[in-house]
Amino acid sequence: MSTTPILDVRRADDRLRTKIDWLDSRHSFSFGHHYDPENTHFGVLMVNNDDIVRAGAGFDTHPHRDMEIVTWVLRGSLVHQDSTGHSGVIYPGLAQRMSAGSGILHSEKNDSWRCAGATGSHAAEHDEPVRFVQMWVLPDEAGIEPGYEQLEIDDELLSGGLVPVASGMDAYADHSAIRIRNRYAAMHVARMRPDRPVTLPDAPFLHVFVARGEAALEGAGHLAEGDAVRIAGGGGRQLTTATGAEILVWEMHAALGHS
């Protein structure tokens, strides 16, 4: 029996917000002291935080457990350090995944100060804020060994199409930049061009987030920066843009508690 797809448009200004002197964070789902029992997750996606951190500041060392965490930087650069000895600088076009597993400590800081004298395409201004989207999904099993992976995929994004960025699905085993421990989920990014429509994957659950720019989704209409659409039961729709946009898409073939 066929069902009518459900498109749930969530506007940027309706997101929950945490704003303090060094952080401006917009939450697509319940997070921290912001709790809405009707908005805890979609599919297997539990967190989609749109964060801006001022220069010289960031998240001090803190713990995580049993979570797959994908970080995607939109502007500036972010320094990651964790208790397993991994460290790295994350910048636009570089995919990063941290598996918290049985337990991990990590910190994330705006890299502007350290890169103030750098040159090249990823050099940061002395006082540049860093903006990034951090997304969490549950792993297939609890208590796995913590891990870290990062890989630059800037060249692949030049096509303007959807690029698999993080995946636990066999379908993308030969394509995704980094692996996550959830066999039902994959995250894609497109740096869209006006001359190239993007077709969404076919999946029971899709979360489409406009990270930068503006786009239009078939059946949902105009989407501004920060808008999101939760789609249940309907893939294959087209995204277009008149001016350019950066889109983050989670393709999910299960919901929490189901497989």
What are 131-169's pLDDT values in tens digits?
Answer: 999 999 999 988 888 888 888 999 999 999 999 999 999
Measured on CA atoms in the order 254, 167, 16, 10, is the torsion positive or negative? negative
Q: Is 86 annotated as a binding residue?
A: no
Contacting residues for 171 by C-beta, under 8 A, at least 6 apart:
186
Q: Is the pLDDT of residue 105 over 50?
A: yes
Count up the domains in the chain and report the number.
1
Other Cβ atoms less than 10 A from the Cβ of 182: the count is: 22
User: What percent of the chain is predicted at pLDDT more than 90?
Assistant: 64
What is residue 222's three-state secondary structure? strand
Residue 238 lies in a domain: yes
Residue 44 lies in a domain: yes
57-61, 112-116, 161-165 — which is least confidently predicted? 112-116
Q: Is 64 annotated as a binding residue?
A: yes
What span, in angstroms and rounded, lies between the C-alpha atoms of 29 and 39?
A: 6
Q: Which residue range(s) make up the domain with 213? A: 6-252
The CATH number of residue 19's host domain is 2.60.120.10
- Quick one: which of 135, 122, 19, 11 has its CA closest to 75? 122
- Quick one: which of 157, 148, 45, 149 has its CA closest to 92? 157
Asked if 208 contacts 252 with a C-beta cutoff of 8 angstroms, the reply is: no
Q: Is the pLDDT of residue 117 over 90?
A: no
Residue 257 lies in a domain: no
The token duo for 188 is 């894609």
The token duo for 11 is 């506007």
What CA–CA distances, in Å, run from 47 to 41, 71, 114, 202?
Answer: 7, 11, 29, 22
Residue 1 lies in a domain: no
Measured on CA atoms in the order 13, 11, 27, 94, is the torsion positive or negative? negative
Element containing residue 191 per DSSP (H, E): strand 185-192
- The per-residue pLDDT for 258 is 59
Residue 248 lies in a domain: yes
Q: Is 253 annotated as a binding residue?
A: no
Average pLDDT, the chain: 87
Asked if 204 contacts 169 with a C-beta cutoff of 8 angstroms, the reply is: no
How many residues make up the chain in this entry? Answer: 259
Residue 258 lies in a domain: no
Residue 137 lies in a domain: yes
Quickly state the pLDDT bin for 234 (edges 50, 70, 90): confident
**CA 195 to chain CA mean position, Å:** 24
Residue 232 lies in a domain: yes
What span, in angstroms and rounded, lies between the C-alpha atoms of 79 and 101?
A: 21
